[in-house]
Amino acid sequence: MQPVNRQHALNRPTDAMYTLDEHTPYRHGRYEFTPLPLIQRGLAYHEAGHVVLGQLVGFTCERVRIHTITRGGVTGWTGATTWARSFGTYLDIAVVCGAAGQAADLHQLTESGRLTPETASLTVAEHDKQMALSILTADGVQVTETGPAPDGGLAWDHVMTTAQQRVDCEWDRITAVAEALLAAPAFTLTGAQAVQIAGITAA
């Protein structure tokens, strides 16, 4: 994801397109013993978390997909959610960009009975967190790891808790988008398709 330039985050759109994920591919190191269908499933739910929580606070999704990518001579699977416009508070931005994917992946592991300390560790999305922090830092927003948050800033543990709560509330929508993504040609949905599948109507 490319950082978005903002004077303030509250209810101000941006015309800059940016992309979440497309990080170092799965199928290396700690992922090499995970069956491919489970990698794809985790990625689909991760991206669906970004899409659904983002659309609900005013982001505009252009496309969401999971796909193969080669970096450093390693080919594997990754995901990408591309946004054209974004709205929201700083908390919204932190949740959608930095925490929604991980929270959705954790939830699907719990739902499927596959949540263990080992599988939970595979959901950690440090790339998402760092991208969110880069956006917030560019706007002068301070972020601590734990509360209390600094004046006008955020605590990351509160961001993660908020993401988990929103994922819990919107689980049916996230599931619908994730399963549709897994069934879609080339594992790709347009933003309009994802919104329709999730049953999200314009405010």
**DSSP labels, 153-199:** -EEHHHHHHHHHHHHHHTHHHHHHHHHHHHHSGGGEEEHHHHHHHHT
At 144-182, the pLDDT tens digits run 999 899 999 999 999 999 999 999 999 999 999 999 999
Distances (CA, A) of 30 to 21, 122, 158, 169: 18, 8, 28, 31
Structure tokens at 85: 């416009």
pLDDT, position 14: 38
SS3 69: strand
For residue 88, what pLDDT band results from cuts at 50, 70 and 90?
confident
pLDDT, position 16: 35
Per-chain mean pLDDT for the chain: 84
Query: Could you give the CA distance from residue 181 to residue 32 in angstroms, rounded to a whole number?
Result: 23
The predicted model scores a pTM of 0.86
| pLDDT at residue 192 greater than cutoff 90 | yes
Q: What is the mean pLDDT of residues 192-196?
A: 97
pLDDT, position 11: 34
For residue 18, what pLDDT band results from cuts at 50, 70 and 90?
very low
| pLDDT at residue 140 greater than cutoff 80 | yes
pLDDT, position 73: 75
Structure tokens at 95: 């949740």
The dihedral built from the CA positions of residue 66, 179, 177 and 133, taken in this order, carries a sign that is negative
For residue 56, what pLDDT band results from cuts at 50, 70 and 90?
very high
Instruction: Find out whether 44 and 187 touch, Cβ atoms under 8 Å.
Output: yes
